[in-house]
């Protein structure tokens, strides 16, 4: 199916070994019906020839400000206006740095600065270069500027080291581009609260009760909803994730009580809440001010007290607002999920079972069944959490009165 029919894509190619994959990516874009203009940096030409790219795209490749044979000026402004989407793959550390700082010393960066269209980049570099604080700072700047980052994958690198830095595979880049064009700005004007990650309940200054939630599911929901135009408040427990999407306001909390306080406050201005956080049901009655010493006794009694149920609190005050909860189950999944939906006053519950190896904590995938109060339910196959986020939002959007 020609999913990109009629779309104008500027494909930027920079000087990294992953440039050899750009020819295949170009072919995928063309096969999907897109019209593609390649803009390659001078270093990019050391890795892949313009002749190959021109043959595949059916257009002369642009690299310099002036055409070598005719001296004709290549207008980066015209290219920037022509583009429906600019994809830079691979994007080297140098190009990322120039983009973040507006250093327009080649045709690709001038085109980027003139582009009215959205921009995606697929970084590719050695693992230490990717992890370097300056690269991460530049990536954060680009995310803040609205550039979509197709995160590099882990694996063997050109240096023969193994780690994060490989350009994402062309098929995955194509999928992200297709998703971009199929995405609707369907949540424009909506405000949504998302909770994510675990809560940590402190025992003393060095110990806590927590769980394995990574925040991946909640962050995927926040990012997909923001991409659909919603204003998001993301209340998250301690996680190692970051998001710079301008549509997401992030509030970091630690305990269930802190999460409740932040969530209640944010919910006042929201149209819906999606509660994907794994909130601890119990917390130590007292937090010891100093580190608990190893006692002579073999047993240590910790008295735990019940935490507030954030979903149930919001369920009581929600009025016309929509409330989506999760159910993480190990047994009797279906009945437990329906019981939680009713007890907490939810409009819809997303059931994921820890019995499925492709679902749950810290995985990149999840397998869910979405159950609504009108009795309808839909079971989905295991998918990337970003796609699961899309399914959850489609279902939220279909709720009457939302
Ligand atoms: O973060 P990841 O690593 O990506 O993992 C995702 C996930 C497994 C954490 C996520 O998909 C998930 O299932 N989240 C809910 C986990 C959970 O605590 O489920 P529960 O069945 O115990 O809680 C039911 C609902 O009540 C949830 O919406 C929960 O956020 C909410 N709750 C629970 C307890 C509490 N005190 N307050 C709450 O609001």
Residue whose token pair is 């796609």: 387
307 is catalytic: no
Closest CA to 226 of 386, 8, 88: 386
Q: Is the pLDDT of residue 68 over 70?
A: no
Q: Is the dihedral of CA 162, 164, 165, 168 positive or negative?
A: positive
Q: Which two tokens stand for residue 21?
A: 């994959």
The dihedral of CA 249, 255, 258, 260: what is its sign? positive
Note the pLDDT tens digit of each residue in 88-145: 999 999 999 999 999 999 999 999 999 999 999 999 999 999 999 999 999 999 988 9
Query: Per mean pLDDT, which range of 10-19, 251-260, 292-301, 318-327 is the poorest?
Result: 292-301
- Expressed in angstroms and rounded, the spacing between residue 351 Cα and the centre of ligand 1 is 10
Q: CB of 49 within 8 A of CB of 76?
A: no
Average pLDDT score over residue span 149-172: 88
- Write out the two tokens for 6: 């009629």
- Work out the angle between the directed axes of helices 93-101 and 107-114 (0-180°, nearest 10): 40
Q: Partners of 304 in the beta sheet?
A: 284
What ranges in 183-269 are assigned the alpha helix state H?
216-227, 256-267
User: Which range, of 2-6, 168-172, 186-190, 194-198, averages the lowest pLDDT?
Assistant: 2-6
Integer-rounded Cα radius of gyration of the chain:
24
Q: What is residue 71's predicted lDDT score, i.e. its pLDDT?
A: 67
pLDDT at 300 > cutoff 90: no
Query: For residue 352, how far is its CA from the centre of ligand 1 (angstroms)?
Result: 10
57: three-class secondary structure by DSSP: helix
Cα separation, 304 vs 308, whole angstroms:
13
**What's the Cα-to-Cα distance from 64 to each of 42, 43, 50, 77, 149, rounded to whole Å?**
8, 11, 12, 14, 26
Token pair belonging to 327: 């159910």
What band does 22 get if pLDDT is binned at 50, 70 and 90? very high
- Decide: 389 in ligand 1 pocket, CB within 6 A: no
- Measure the N-to-C terminal CA separation of the chain; round to a whole number of Å: 33
Count of residues for the chain? 402
Percent of the chain with pLDDT over 90: 81
What's the mean per-residue pLDDT of the chain?
A: 93
Ligand 1 pocket member 281 (CB < 6 A): yes
What is the enclosing helix (H) or strand (E) of 178?
helix 170-182
Rounded to an integer, the average pLDDT of 144-165 is 87
Q: How confident is the model at residue 183 (pLDDT cuts 50, 70, 90)?
A: confident
Which residue CA neighbors atom 5 of ligand 1 most closely?
361
pLDDT, average across residues 159-176? 90
pTM: predicted TM-score of the whole model, two decimal places:
0.73
């Amino acid at each position: 199916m020609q999913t990109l029919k009629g779309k104008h894509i500027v494909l930027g190619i920079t000087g990294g070994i992953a440039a050899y994959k750009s020819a295949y990516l170009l072919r995928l874009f063309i096969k999907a019906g897109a019209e593609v203009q390649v803009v390659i940096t001078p270093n990019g030409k050391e890795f892949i020839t313009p002749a190959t790219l021109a043959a595949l795209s059916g257009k002369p490749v642009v690299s310099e400000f002036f055409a070598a044979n005719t001296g004709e000026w290549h207008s980066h402004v015209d290219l920037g206006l022509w583009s429906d989407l600019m994809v830079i793959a691979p994007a080297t550390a140098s190009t990322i740095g120039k983009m973040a700082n507006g250093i327009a010393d080649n045709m690709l960066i001038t085109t980027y600065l003139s582009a009215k269209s959205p921009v995606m980049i697929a970084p590719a570099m050695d693992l230490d270069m990717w992890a370097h604080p300056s690269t991460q700072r530049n990536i954060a700047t680009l995310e803040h500027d609205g550039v979509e980052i197709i995160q590099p994958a882990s694996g063997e690198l050109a240096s023969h080291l193994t780690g994060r830095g490989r350009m994402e595979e062309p098929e995955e880049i194509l999928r992200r581009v297709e998703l971009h064009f199929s995405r609707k700005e369907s949540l424009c004007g909506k405000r949504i609260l998302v909770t994510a990650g675990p809560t940590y309940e402190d025992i003393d200054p060095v110990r806590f009760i927590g769980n394995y939630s990574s925040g991946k599911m909640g962050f995927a929901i926040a990012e997909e909803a923001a991409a659909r135009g919603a204003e998001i408040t993301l209340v998250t427990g301690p996680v190692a994730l970051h998001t710079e999407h301008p549509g997401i306001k992030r509030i970091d909390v630690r305990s269930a009580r802190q999460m409740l306080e932040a969530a209640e406050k944010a919910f006042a201005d929201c149209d819906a809440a999606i509660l994907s956080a794994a909130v601890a049901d119990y917390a130590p009655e007292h937090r010891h001010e100093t580190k608990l010493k190893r006692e002579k006794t073999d047993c240590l009694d910790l008295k735990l007290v019940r935490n507030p149920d954030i979903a149930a609190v919001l369920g009581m005050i929600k009025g016309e607002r929509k409330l989506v909860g999760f159910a993480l189950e190990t047994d009797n999944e279906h009945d437990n999920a329906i019981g939680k939906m009713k007890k907490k006053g939810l409009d819809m519950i997303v059931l994921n079972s820890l019995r499925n190896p492709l679902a749950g904590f810290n995985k990149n995938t999840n397998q869910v069944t979405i159950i609504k109060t009108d009795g309808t339910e839909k079971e989905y196959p295991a998918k990337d959490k970003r796609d699961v986020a899309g399914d959850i939002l489609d279902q939220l959007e279909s709720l009457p009165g939302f």
